[in-house]
Amino acid sequence: MRSRAGAGREDVGTPFLLLPGAGGRAWYWHRLVPELERRGHRVAAVDLPADDDTAGLEAYATVATAALDALVAAGGDGDAVVVAQSMGGLTAPLVAARRPVRLLVLLNAMVPRPGETGGEWWDAVDQAGARAALAREQGRPEDGDGETDFSHDVPPEVWAAGAEEVGDQSGTPFGEPWPLPSWPDVPTRVLAGRDDRFFPLALQRRVARDRLGLDVVEVPGGHLCALSRPAELADALDALLVAEPTRPVT
């Protein structure tokens, strides 16, 4: 396991644990980390064992929890904020069920139901239908390239650099039923990119409402907004620290 901790002063700022989506690399957060540090926070972005076919959700949660323990032990202002991108939504609540967490933030993230596999999630929420509907609305081909939907607003040089950083994603965690009996009783916020083509905003609003009883907070950018709009995302995360806590209704 490799984590990249912020280099801020000891015992200042809120600890932020950043969990990536499919491919599992801390690199995804490399533009956001310095933005959060500039706002006075301590940050750790985690590599998850995405290319290990023996690693399921338990292994992902174990790696993430160890990184959280190290982050909190290093100092900061109280319990950590756990931020999960995309597939990271399967892992983040498992961490929040194991350790005290100040806030759980889902960023363009999957929201699982108890017993549902990650593989079942796509049809259950009609991700393909929502993606096609948005393409029609915007005058784009419904069967457009998935990589473009991921990266359409990421600077080309940043996306090109990612080709060497982002690894393969094993299907093992997608085949396992999500293990919690319910969403953890932890304040939770859902951030959704208003330009997300992969998990369209309308889809994220519906899923957040139906599965958590929560509204979404819109942020600029597409599915990979930590790469395309890191400063704006850091501002949104910073603002959540003083917002009224919201708990899921499941």
DSSP3 helix / strand / coil % (the chain, rounded to 5) = 40, 15, 45
Ranges of the chain whose pLDDT falls below 70: 1-12, 76-77
Q: Where along the chain do its domains lie?
A: 3-240
Quick: pLDDT tens for 178-194: 999 999 999 999 999 99
Lookup: tokens for 134: 């948005």
Torsions phi, psi for 16 (to 5 deg): -115, 125
- pLDDT number for residue 182: 97
- pLDDT number for residue 167: 75
pTM of the predicted model, to two decimals?
A: 0.93
- The dihedral sign for the CA sequence 125, 209, 235, 89: negative
- pLDDT number for residue 150: 84
Residue with tokens 């409402």: 209
For residues 17 and 244, give the distance between their C-alpha atoms in angstroms, rounded to a whole number. Answer: 20
Query: Residue 157 carries which DSSP code?
Result: H
- Strand segments, DSSP code E, in 39-170 are 42-46, 80-85, 101-107
CATH class of 3-240: alpha beta
For residues 152 and 135, give the distance between their C-alpha atoms in angstroms, rounded to a whole number. Answer: 13
**What are the beta bridge partners of residue 177?**
117
Residue 16: in which H helix or E strand, if any?
strand 15-19
